[in-house]
Amino acid sequence: MINSKELLILIYLNEYKDQYLLAEIKELCYFTTSQMKKYLQKMIEKEMLEDSNGRLLLTYKAEKFLKEKGLFNVTLSELFKDIVTLEFTEKPLSFQDVYIPKEFKI
């Protein structure tokens, strides 16, 4: 099972490949240096990452996982893009009203 921080790391490394920065991974996941090292080591043990001469690479297993989840071509900017559209109504909403966002999809 992969948690959200591990997923962010996979997406980040998939997007930036050889141009990644450990400092960006640290900032992205709100890690301390020791937390980041533990997470990366855990991901290596899970065979999601490979340490090739000090360079982190996604394994085939990680690439397959991202493809299965439809996240192989997703970028971080797409993940964090906020689309907020405020629409005013004639009467105020109450707590009993059902709110469905404008572009809601299941």
**Is domain 4-79 classified as CATH 1.10.10.10?**
yes
> Residue 80's pLDDT is what?
77
Whole-angstrom distance, CA of residue 53 vs CA of residue 16: 18
d(CA 36, CA 56): 13
**Residue 67's pLDDT is what?**
95
E strand or H helix at 58: strand 55-58
Distance of CA 99 to the CA centre of its chain: 27
Residue 89: per-residue pLDDT: 66
pLDDT digits (tens, 9 = 90+) for 30-88: 999 999 999 999 999 999 999 999 899 999 999 999 999 999 998 888 877 766 566 66
CA atoms within 13 A on the CB side of 84: 3
Domain residue ranges in the chain: 4-79
Provide the whole-model pTM. Answer: 0.73
Tally of CA atoms within 13 A in the half-sphere of 3 that contains its CB: 6
**pLDDT value at residue 24:** 95
